[in-house]
Amino acid sequence: MIKTSPSDISKRYVGQQIDVYGLVLHVRDLGRKKFIIITDGKSILQIVYSGSEKVRRGDTIRASGIIKEDPRAPTGLEMVANNITFLSKSIDERFDQWSLRNMNKDKKIKYRALLLRLLEFYKVFEEYANVTQYLREYYRNLGFLEIFTPKVVRMGTESGSEVFSILYFDKDAYLAQSPQLYKQMLMASGIKGVYEVGSYFRAEVSFTPRHLTEFRGFDVEVNYIEDYSEIMKILEDSVKYVLSKLELSYPKEFPVISFKDAKQILQEKYDIRLKDDLSTEAEKALGDYAKKEYDSDLIFIVEFPYDSRPFYTMRKEEDPKYTYSFDLLYKGLEIASGSKREYRYEILIKQIKEKGINPERMKWYLEVFKYGIPPHGGFGLGIDRFVRQLLELQDIREVVLFPRDPDTLEP
């Protein structure tokens, strides 16, 4: 007997007696005959059954029968079952009465595991998994090394962001905001490049559709960089690779404008005035500008002011108020940020002090720079944000299985 699940069913099984396992998604009971839809999350299968057993949504069953073609079935195939075995029974009938249209966002988060029975929800997280897989593929094919850095650290790495404090035995510690310092330290090995997929934490009390306190990032660091545009090209090509694998369109080249030019455009065309960084309103406006002027959903903003960038960002030689840095916007939202890094020991010490940080606290990080380190740069890409924009969803919590925000610690 062949043992399978709905997503494995195809025409090659037509006429065969098989066992199929799944969770009951819907039941239409006509008395002598029941039409049962089962799912494995990824796909569904209609089962026609004449037995007397009561079948309810949420039951897990093993159905035995013959696969037949029927154009009236949701997938064009159905099983005519001669036996159903219950592997588990639903003991709560509330799910039968739930309406997705009337379900608020908080309830959708609370019952996420149940909602994944529905294909529209499953496909969001399948797409998320695909994006992560394709990013990994791209950088592995470049010969980069996948790394795994600590998530319990002695200090924060990102200026302007709050950290989660924890007690690590008898020491004060924090949850990692990014793998930045560890990525850079590894460049001292001379390795070509590294990448990491990880969870990171920001203790920001932000109740917006674009912020989470725990988020997934794809981080990259590359050695032997002479110009920060080299990093931008690597990022651009990897985003193009993902979009091509998903059979989505993208511009031949991502447009690039400087922060200074963006500031002027925003003031003249959108009546938005900036200081040293992009606001949410500014990002949306620049997304609109990129679409109108370049017919592009993606645009690089480059050379941000030093005051808005972390200490490890390299300043422009001819204009130290600005940096060799960039943000990548996708449909009006920043999805990636990066720069060429400052790798010269004495200048790095100077910039650490300028940012109000005691270099003594960073000796463990600075030590490797004493022994020589190649010119390098990198970026961090927010996977949650990327997928949200890709699917054009309204709230970032919709693409995270179990999101964390200031109000959400369960499930």
Give the per-residue pLDDT at 305: 97
210 is catalytic: yes
CA 280 to CA 287: how far, in whole Å? 11
Q: Of 57, 117, 385, 388, which residue is the catalytic one?
A: 385
- Mean pLDDT over each residue of the chain, to the nearest integer: 91
Q: What CATH architecture applies to the domain 119-399?
A: 2-Layer Sandwich (3.30)
Q: Of 196, 303, 334, 398, which residue is the catalytic one?
A: 334
405/60: higher pLDDT: 60
Edge-first strand listing for the sheet containing 145-146: 145-146, 193-201, 214-223, 376-382, 334-340, 325-330, 298-302, 256-258
**Tokens 């090209």 -> residue:** 233
Q: Of 57, 78, 196, 211, which residue is the catalytic one?
A: 211
Q: Of 202, 376, 388, 397, which residue is the catalytic one?
A: 202
Give the per-residue pLDDT at 160: 47
Q: Of 296, 337, 339, 397, which residue is the catalytic one?
A: 337
202 is catalytic: yes
Residues 389/239, Cβ–Cβ less than 8 Å: no
CA distances to 158, 323, 324 from 310, in Å: 6, 10, 12
Segment 361-386, tens digit of pLDDT: 889 999 999 999 999 999 999 999 99
303 is catalytic: no
410 is catalytic: no
Residue intervals in the chain for CATH 3.30.930.10: 119-399
244 is catalytic: no
397 is catalytic: no
Question: What residue ranges in 156-213 does DSSP mark as E strands?
Answer: 165-168, 171-175, 193-201
388 is catalytic: no
CA distances to 54, 196, 361 from 180, in Å: 56, 10, 16
Which CATH superfamily is 2-96 part of?
Nucleic acid-binding proteins (2.40.50.140)
Pick the range with the lowest mean pLDDT from 140-154, 159-173, 360-374: 159-173
State phi, psi for 231 to the nearest 5 degrees: -65, -45
Report, as an integer, the average pLDDT of 218-226: 97
Residue intervals in the chain for CATH 2.40.50.140: 2-96
Give the per-residue pLDDT at 45: 93
Segment 299-358, tens digit of pLDDT: 999 999 999 999 999 999 999 999 999 999 999 999 999 999 999 999 999 999 999 999
Q: What percent of the chain has pLDDT over 70?
A: 96
Total-model pTM: 0.88
Quick one: which of 278, 337, 330 has its CA closest to 313? 337
CA 273 to CA 11: how far, in whole Å? 60
Q: Of 162, 204, 214, 230, which residue is the catalytic one?
A: 204
Q: Of 210, 214, 258, 404, which residue is the catalytic one?
A: 210
What is the three-state SS of 31-46?
Answer: CCCEEEEEECCCCEEE
CA distances to 274, 299, 329, 334 from 285, in Å: 12, 12, 11, 12
